[in-house]
Amino acid sequence: MLKAGDIAPEIQLPDQDAKITRLSDFKGKKVVLYFYPRDNTSGCTRQAASFREIYEILLNHGVVLLGVSKDSVASHQKFAAKNSLPFPLLADQNLDAIKAYDVWQEKKMYGKTAMGVVRTTYIIDENGVIEKVYEKVKPDRNAAEVLAYLNL
């Protein structure tokens, strides 16, 4: 797992509108980069909805919000439309960013072990350095934790 003080790995992924988004596009801005397992699951929907509720606050303070999962652009399009999500959802089907940020890990569920995305949120400073890491976050609390950390 990456930690505070590490340089944030560059990402270059399409969003739900197939527009290529690079982390370096946001140099000079604080970035909240959250990785989630899958579109349209209950936890991921609750997490996205909680970020939707604070999006304007982040935007008004110059903070960029990006969600990342291994779902397709088409899946992200439907998920964003269905849940009125105003922020970019990046499609990482090749697991490039997911592996670079070390969130592709072994998970145990219902007695079975499989590889999957561990729900993780990174706060990246204006210089591209990881400032804060939330590991194995709870979907219902993550947005509030981010707001509290940013003092917003």
**Residues 122-146 pLDDT 10s:** 999 999 999 999 998 999 999 999 9
User: What is the count of structural domains for the chain?
Assistant: 1
Residue 62 CA to residue 82 CA, distance in Å, equals 26
Instruction: Please determine, for residue 109, whether its predicted confidence score (pLDDT) is greater than 80.
Output: no
Asked, for residue 5, whether it belongs to a domain, the answer is no
Asked, for residue 103, whether it belongs to a domain, the answer is yes
Active site residue 108: no
> Do the Cβ atoms of 143 and 47 come closer than 8 Å?
yes
- What is the pairing mode between strands 31-35 and 120-124? antiparallel
Domain containing 70 — which CATH number? Answer: 3.40.30.10
The percent of residues above 70 in pLDDT, for the chain, comes to: 100
Q: How many CB atoms lie within 10 A of CB 28?
A: 8
Closest CA to 67 of 125, 15, 3, 134: 15
Asked, for residue 1, whether it belongs to a domain, the answer is no
Asked, for residue 32, whether it belongs to a domain, the answer is yes
Asked, for residue 2, whether it belongs to a domain, the answer is no
The pLDDT assigned to 49 comes to 97
**Residues 56-74 pLDDT 10s:** 999 999 999 999 999 999 9
The model's confidence at residue 22, banded by pLDDT at 50, 70 and 90, is very high
Asked, for residue 56, whether it belongs to a domain, the answer is yes
Q: How many CB atoms lie within 10 A of CB 27?
A: 11
Q: What is the mean pLDDT of residues 105-131?
A: 93
Instruction: Please determine, for residue 110, whether its predicted confidence score (pLDDT) is greater than 90.
Output: no
Which residue out of 44, 54, 58, 103 is catalytically annotated? 44
> Which residue range forms the structural domain that includes residue 136?
12-150
Asked, for residue 33, whether it belongs to a domain, the answer is yes
Closest CA to 23 of 6, 14, 10, 5: 10
Asked, for residue 23, whether it belongs to a domain, the answer is yes
